[in-house]
């Protein structure tokens, strides 16, 4: 796997990535599955729960309350984890988090580490230092396993291989599992899953340490919660001698009831299930008299920019529960997939979070890759104003002088005119007239000076000769009569 | 201070600075203590607020829709018979791995003399297991299983067929009621090492959004409602 995974690619890379994604026929075919699956299923699940919108308001209030008391809930949580025999470690940044996990794995004498799916682990690039220390690291979620075989990153926060067709995965399995008979069938998802199940069983049973993420942390009980369908997270957290949970600080909620309200929204928003097959609450290591479970339990709490967000205009983003609904409903994500973003977190939530993680100078294209259609905010179960926050990043980007000179000049010209209504109306009338003339009887424009590149894939309907202001003024006069 | 203390202090200092609060603000501490103590409920879906019988029906419907095999049995004897015939239907040898759950221990196992039972956590060779759910929430068809010597957690995940027995009187409507049951057993603010909420057989839809049952956990989930 590649190192330095926290970094987004530069601007040129983003544009190249988009162009490549749009031209990639297999990717375009695979992306159709997002709409057929997630979007339709979420709609159906929401329709079956009349209380959905009420729960959404309550969930928002729970998170807002928790975040405004975050220090105290973390203290309460830590106390409970310690009471139950576990240990909490704080990591101000990604490097500290990696160092803590590596140290724990070494202390446990780990040769083999199994992992449940964790975006925080992706965020901090956890696998690389473990592998450098000669520890075998195996991703066990089917999607993550495939991504690991390919040396890629997940392209979606809950469906890591949504960018792949089953034919591509078959090819990966044939390449990676050469000991198996060549004539075996792998042309259906079920055969691919069965093969992964058999191979990963050995890993689950031999693992020394299991690392999972957490969808929620509960202050009342000191529990970490994982939400899964495959059962790999549970084999990871139950079989090895040590269970390490890695989670960011904003995952905390006060009580089991609060967790319940959020769980009622999570699966429905993510996969359109009423609830995932497995929702697991882990609290400390195995108890006296327990027949199984890990002997040691550690939680690594990652800050990595979250505490800064608490106090800035991106605080609402900390309510995010990583359901992926904003990705699934985003026309930009739907067109280019997750990899083109070049960041760990793609789509609208990624466009807001990534600049915080890597700096706006390194991620300025992400908040700009949006048409502001507003679907993301509409479907967000935590009511996060994603478009507003993307706009806030654009403002910061502009203030730092990042946009190219031509863009900045045009914006300044526009601002100059917009502040002078007489000039603005005169200019608008002239341009409208020019465009109407130029379009002629066809009523459409396929080329305009200064906008050559933008018009390459678009036609513009021509103005009807009068500006909106003039039509509006006329309407008002009509009303008065 | 050790590096770990330093890291902890750094994170807390950053949070308090961002929030603009002091650590010893009494009103904030009281608000947090009150919420943890009272654990107020949110909105409970109307579907979870029904009679016991309606909840049994809802649980059955939800679990079936999620791919589980269900059967209502009225006597312990019937339960044992159902377990034996299920193993047969699945073409599995008559061997069961289970814990020391008292309710399961008192089932009339002589009625299924050919079933070979063994006790303890599951290993790689165990193909069928039996557990008891401590409570179940009808609203999403969800069984609550708790770790311990009575029902080891590995039984829920390693074998390919998992049978779960739930007493009809342990079926409630909502998660909130289920949490209160657990609080009554383990005390407020405490949970056993693992609480597994299970709502169907293991599955994945990672490949092209095609649902495949039997991912890493059991391929089959067999639920017996007793009573």
Tally the domains of chain B: 1
Q: What is the pLDDT of residues A160-215, one digit of tens each?
A: 999 999 999 999 999 999 999 999 999 999 999 999 999 999 999 999 999 999 99
CB contact under 8 A, B147 and A292: yes
CB contact under 8 A, B124 and A249: no
Residues 6+ apart with CB under 8 A from A410: none
- Write down the mean pLDDT value for chain B: 96
The pLDDT of residue B64 is above 70: yes
What is the pLDDT at residue A439?
A: 81
Better-predicted residue by pLDDT, A143 or A446: A143
Residues 6+ apart with CB under 8 A from A270: A38, A42, A158, A323, A324, A325
What is the pLDDT at residue A201?
A: 97
The pLDDT of residue A8 is above 50: no
CB contact under 8 A, A282 and B36: no
Residue of B nearest to A45 (CA): B140
B54, part of any domain = yes
> Which of A24-33, A376-385, A442-451, B118-127 has the least mean pLDDT?
A442-451
Q: Which two tokens stand for residue A244?
A: 């390490």
Q: Which two tokens stand for residue B27?
A: 């009103």
Share of chain B above pLDDT 70, in %: 100
Which residues does chain B have within 8 Å of residue A226's beta carbon, measured at their own beta carbons?
none
Q: Which two tokens stand for residue A191?
A: 């055969």
B35, part of any domain = no
CA atoms of A215 and A223, how far apart (whole Å): 11
Name the packing angle between helices A11-23 and A25-34 (round to 10°).
90
What is the pLDDT at residue A312?
A: 94
Which residues does chain A have within 8 Å of residue B99's beta carbon, measured at their own beta carbons?
291
B97, part of any domain = yes
Residues 6+ apart with CB under 8 A from B68: B141, B200, B201, B221, B222, B223
B14, part of any domain = no
Q: What is the pLDDT of residues A47-105, one digit of tens each?
A: 999 999 999 999 999 999 999 999 999 999 999 999 999 999 999 999 999 999 999 99
Which residues does chain A have within 8 Å of residue B205's beta carbon, measured at their own beta carbons?
37, 159, 229, 271
Distances (CA, A) of A220 to A314, A409, A460: 27, 55, 57
Q: What is the mean pLDDT of residues A340-357?
A: 96
B15, part of any domain = no
Q: What is the pLDDT of residues A436-470, one digit of tens each?
A: 888 877 778 888 777 777 777 778 888 876 778 78
Residues 6+ apart with CB under 8 A from B3: none
- Nearest CA to A81 among A287, A203, A222? A222
Q: What is the pLDDT of residues A305-332, one digit of tens each?
A: 999 999 999 999 999 999 999 999 999 9
- Nearest CA to A300 among A443, A87, A129? A87
Residue of A nearest to B41 (CA): A257
Q: What is the mean pLDDT of residues A138-151?
A: 97
Count of all residues that appear for chain B in the document: 227
B2, part of any domain = no
Residue of B nearest to A286 (CA): B193
What is the pLDDT at residue A133?
A: 97
CA atoms of A319 and A216, how far apart (whole Å): 11
Domains of chain A (ranges, CATH numbers): 50-307 (3.40.50.10420), 405-480 (no CATH)
Cβ–Cβ contact A193 with B under 8 A:
yes
Q: What is the pLDDT of residues B129-185, one digit of tens each?
A: 999 999 999 999 999 999 999 999 999 999 999 999 999 999 999 999 999 999 999
The pLDDT of residue A9 is above 70: no
Distances (CA, A) of A362 to A9, A19, A123, A347, A356: 7, 19, 15, 16, 10
What is the residue range of B151's domain? 46-226
Question: ipTM value of the model?
Answer: 0.98
CA atoms of A160 and A344, how far apart (whole Å): 11
- Nearest CA to A164 among A183, A149, A179? A149
Q: Which two tokens stand for residue A431?
A: 């341009």
CA atoms of A383 and A376, how far apart (whole Å): 9
Cβ–Cβ contact A463 with B under 8 A:
no
CA atoms of A124 and A102, how far apart (whole Å): 12
Q: What is the mean pLDDT of residues A371-381?
A: 96
Q: Which two tokens stand for residue B215?
A: 């991912």
B12, part of any domain = no
B6, part of any domain = no
- Stated as kind and residue range, the H or E segment containing B38 is helix B26-38
Domain of residue B216, CATH code: 3.40.50.10420
| Interface probe with B: pick from A54, A78, A149, A278, most Cβ of B within 10 Å | A278
Which residues does chain A have within 8 Å of residue B148's beta carbon, measured at their own beta carbons?
287, 289-291
pLDDT band at residue A481, thresholds of 50, 70 and 90? low
Q: Which two tokens stand for residue A382?
A: 């935590």
Share of chain A above pLDDT 70, in %: 97
Rounded to 5 degrees, φ, ψ at A462 are -80, 150
Strand partners for B97: B118, B129
pLDDT band at residue A11, thresholds of 50, 70 and 90? low
CA atoms of A95 and A223, how far apart (whole Å): 25
What is the pLDDT at residue A10?
A: 54
Q: Residues A230, B217: contact at Cβ < 8 Å? A: yes
Share of chain A above pLDDT 90, in %: 80
Comparing CB atoms, the residue among B36, B190, B204 nearest residue A219 is B36
Cβ–Cβ contact A289 with B under 8 A:
yes
| 3-state secondary structure (DSSP) of residue A376 | helix
Cβ–Cβ contact B24 with A under 8 A:
no
Any idea of the CA torsion for A71, A75, A78, A84, to the nearest 10 degrees? -150
CB contact under 8 A, B18 and A308: yes
DSSP string of A144-177, one letter each residue: HHHHHHHT---SSSS-TTTT--HHHHHHHHHHH-
Within the 238-257 window of chain A, which residues sit less than 8 Å (CB to CB) from chain B?
238-239, 249, 254-257
Q: How would you classify residue A57: left for phi > 0, otherwise alpha for psi between -120 and 50, otherwise beta?
A: alpha
What is the pLDDT at residue A406?
A: 86
């Amino acid at each position: 796997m590649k190192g330095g995974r926290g970094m987004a690619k530069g601007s040129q890379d983003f544009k190249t990535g988009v162009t490549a994604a749009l031209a990639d026929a297999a990717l375009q075919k695979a992306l159709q599955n997002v709409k057929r699956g997630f979007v339709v299923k979420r709609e159906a699940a929401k329709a079956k729960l009349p209380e959905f919108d009420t729960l959404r308001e309550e969930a928002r209030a729970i998170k807002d309350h928790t975040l405004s008391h975050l220090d105290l809930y973390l203290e309460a949580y830590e106390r409970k984890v310690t009471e139950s025999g576990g240990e909490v470690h704080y990591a101000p940044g990604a490097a500290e988090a990696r160092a803590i996990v590596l140290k724990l794995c070494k202390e446990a004498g780990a040769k083999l580490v199994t992992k449940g799916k964790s975006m925080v682990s992706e965020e901090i690039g956890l696998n690389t230092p473990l592998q450098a220390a000669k520890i075998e690291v195996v991703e066990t979620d089917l999607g993550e396993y495939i991504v690991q075989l390919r040396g890629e990153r997940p392209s979606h926060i809950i469906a890591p291989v949504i960018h792949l067709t089953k034919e591509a995965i078959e090819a990966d399995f044939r390449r990676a599992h050469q000991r198996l008979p060549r004539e075996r069938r792998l042309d259906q998802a079920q055969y691919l899953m069965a093969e992964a199940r058999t191979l990963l069983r050995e890993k689950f049973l031999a693992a020394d340490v299991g690392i999972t993420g957490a969808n929620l942390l509960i202050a009342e009980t000191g529990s970490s919660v994982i939400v899964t369908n495959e059962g790999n997270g549970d084999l990871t957290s139950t079989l090895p001698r040590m269970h390490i949970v890695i989670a960011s600080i904003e995952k905390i909620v006060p009580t089991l009831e609060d967790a319940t309200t959020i769980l009622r929204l999570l699966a429905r928003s993510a996969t359109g299930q009423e609830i995932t097959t497995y929702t697991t609450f882990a609290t400390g290591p195995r108890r006296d008299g327990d027949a199984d479970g890990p002997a040691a339990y550690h939680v690594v709490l990652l800050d990595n920019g979250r505490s800064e967000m608490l106090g800035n205009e991106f605080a609402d983003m900390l309510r995010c529960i990583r359901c992926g609904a904003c990705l699934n409903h985003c026309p930009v994500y739907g067109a280019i997939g997750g990899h083109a973003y070049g960041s760990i977190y793609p789509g609208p939530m990624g466009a807001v979070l990534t600049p915080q993680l890597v700096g706006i100078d390194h991620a300025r294209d992400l908040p700009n890759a949006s048409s502001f259609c507003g679907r993301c905010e509409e479907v967000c179960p935590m009511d996060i104003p994603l478009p507003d926050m993307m706009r806030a990043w654009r403002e910061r980007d502009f203030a730092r002088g990042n946009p190219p000179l031509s863009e900045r000049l045009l914006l300044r010209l526009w601002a100059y005119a917009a502040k002078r209504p007489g000039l603005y109306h005169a200019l608008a009338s002239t341009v409208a007239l020019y465009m109407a003339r130029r379009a002629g009887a066809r009523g459409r424009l396929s080329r305009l000076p200064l906008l050559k590149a933008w018009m390459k894939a678009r036609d513009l309907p021509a103005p009807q000769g009068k500006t909106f202001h003039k039509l509006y003024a006329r309407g008002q006069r009509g009303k008065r009569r | 201070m050790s590096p770990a203390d330093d890291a902890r202090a750094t994170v807390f200092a950053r949070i308090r600075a961002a929030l603009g609060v002091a650590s010893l603000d009494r009103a904030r501490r009281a608000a947090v203590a009150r919420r943890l103590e009272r654990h107020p409920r949110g909105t409970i879906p109307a579907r979870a607020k029904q009679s016991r019988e309606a909840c049994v029906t809802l649980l059955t419907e939800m679990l079936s829709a999620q791919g589980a095999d269900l059967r209502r049995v009225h006597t312990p004897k019937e339960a044992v018979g159902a377990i034996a015939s299920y193993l047969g239907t699945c073409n599995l040898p008559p061997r069961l791995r289970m814990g020391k759950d008292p309710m399961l221990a008192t089932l009339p196992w002589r009625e299924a003399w050919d079933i070979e039972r063994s006790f303890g956590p599951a290993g790689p060779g165990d193909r069928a297991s039996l557990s008891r759910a401590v409570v179940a929430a009808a609203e999403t068809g969800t069984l609550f299983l708790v770790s311990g010597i009575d029902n080891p957690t590995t039984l829920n995940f390693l074998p390919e067929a998992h049978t779960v027995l739930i007493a009809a009187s342990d079926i409630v409507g909502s998660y909130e009621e289920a949490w209160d049951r657990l609080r009554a057993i383990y005390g407020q603010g405490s949970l056993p090492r693992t609480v597994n909420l299970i709502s169907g057989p293991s599955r994945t839809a990672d490949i092209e959004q095609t649902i495949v049952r039997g991912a890493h956990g059991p391929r089959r989930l067999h639920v017996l409602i007793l009573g």
